[in-house]
Each structure stands twice: as C-alpha cells, then as structure tokens.
Amino acid sequence: MKTCVVDAWAFSEWLKAAEPAASRLDGLLAASQKGLVRLYASAINIGEVYYSLLKKNAPALARDWRDRAPTLPVQIEVPTMEDIWQASEIKGHFPISYADAFAAALAQKVRGTLVTGDPDFRQIHGLKLDWVGIP
C-alpha cells in the first residue's frame, strides 16, 4: 500500500481549489477513504494551515479547517520528542521552515512520499516527492 504524507502547502492549495493540487489531493483522499493509500500529516502542519488562514483574515475558513481536519481520512501524527529531534536535524541541514521540517521528518519516519508543491522540499536529499504543484 502506498504511504504519503501531506504537507501544509498541499492542504492550503486544496482548500483554495487550486489546480493541479486540488484534484490530486481529492484523488488521494478518496483512495485513502477506500483503504487504497495510507495518508499522514503532522499535527504541526495541520496547525500551520490554521494559523495561515487566520493571518489571511479568514477566521471562518480557519474555524472550518479546524473542525474538518480531524474528519479527513488522514492520520494526524502528534510529534514525539524523537520526531522533534529529527525535524530539528533536518532544519539544521536545510534552509526550510521549521514546520516544513516536520513534514519531511514524518515522510522519512513512515517511509512515505511527501505530497507537496513547495519547492523548498526539493533540496532535501533522498526525500520522495509526489509533486502536486505547477511543474
């Protein structure tokens, strides 16, 4: 079974119905619902989407995300201390955001593919990407 980790960028694009991310994530969510793919997300990245919506003065959409995220067919992983060390190591070696380091660390932990369109992830050696952004 394919295992994927969805980052905040992909969720944000999905919420905006921005293509090609929205269609690709719709397909992955449907496949996860059917048990054909295993989807994960870091709780840090779920929170990142929430605060981004609040910063964009979209409190109603932020509240909707807060209510909706736990109902998605996605396993939301709360980082352990070991996960925090791993994300910190990634952040220490690559110029990415700290929240992005949690998505990368989770993808490595579950040996999954990171679903993203954020170009910052391209610099992390050995990280498998499912590119849902514009090529």
Q: Which fold has domain 2-131?
A: Rossmann fold (3.40.50)
What span, in angstroms and rounded, lies between the C-alpha atoms of 78 and 93?
23
- What is the pTM for the complete model shown? 0.95
On whether the CB atoms of residues 1 and 112 are closer than 8 A, the answer is no
* Per-residue pLDDT tens over the stretch 31-61: 999 999 999 999 999 999 999 999 999 999 9
Give the pLDDT of residue 103.
98
d(CA 35, CA 97): 31
Half-sphere exposure of 133 (CA within 13 A, CB side): 17
Question: Which three-class secondary structure state does DSSP give residue 90?
Answer: helix
Confidence (pLDDT) at 4: 98
What letter would DSSP give residue 4? E
pLDDT(135) > 90: no
